[in-house]
A and B are shown apart, each in its own frame.
Chain A
Amino acid sequence: MLLGRVVGCVWATMKDSRLEGQRLLLVQPVTPELKRTGRRLVCADCTGAGTGDLIYWTRSKEASYAFLPAEVPVDATVTGIVDSIHLKRD
């Protein structure tokens, strides 16, 4: 899993039937220090996260396991909303 921040959302009318009813969020990956890193991507959502929320997201086929037993064709899903991060500095 990786950290990210929700920065928007995506609408699509023509889509795979199993994506019906799924919220599609735009996510900016961030470092544990909350600095932006890498390209923004589109994630499905199983948490009800909204714009501005710090979240963690799951990559790859495991992202679709959040919706089992439905087989949803997604490769990135927001699987948690972060309450807090504690980093130990050396």
Chain B
Amino acid sequence: MILARVVGTVVATRKDPRLEGKKLLILRPISPQGKDEGGYVVAVDTVGAGCKERVLVVSGSSARMAEGCKDLPVDTAIVGIVDDVQLD
């Protein structure tokens, strides 16, 4: 999984019907210290994340194992909202 920050939302009317009602967010990957690491990704939100929150992101076919994502055409899902990162 990677850490990322929510920076925006995506709205789509014409889409795969299985994605109806799913919230799509734009994420920027971040380092454990919270620094932007370049690039972005669109992810399905399964935990109710909001703008600027740090989130835990699962990619690839594992994303379909997130809550409510079974058999959905998605490859990136938010599975947690990060409270704290401890770096030793």
Contacts and interface: CB of A to CB of B under 8 A. Distances in A.
Interface of A: 7-19, 24, 26, 39-44, 51-52, 60-61, 63-64, 71-76
A19 B62 CA distance: 13
B65 to A, nearest CB: 4
Interface residues of B, number: 33
Nearest to A15: B80
B87 A11 contact: no
A58 to B, nearest CB: 11
Contacts of A39: 2, 29, 31, 37
Contacts of B3: 10, 42
B61 interface: yes
A42 B62 contact: no
B83 A73 contact: no
Given A9-B85, A11-B82, A39-B31, 14 more contacts: A8-B32, A12-B80, A14-B47, A16-B66, A18-B65, A18-B67, A19-B79, A26-B86, A42-B3, A42-B56, A43-B1, A61-B60, A73-B63, A74-B62
A15 B37 CA distance: 23
Contact of A12 (B56, B58, B86, B87): B56
Contact of A52 (B46, B86, B88): B88
Nearest to A43: B1
B51 to A, nearest CB: 15
Contact of B1 (A9, A13, A41, A61): A41
A24 B3 CA distance: 11
Contacts of A73: 58, 62-63, 65-67, 69, 77, 79
B81 interface: yes
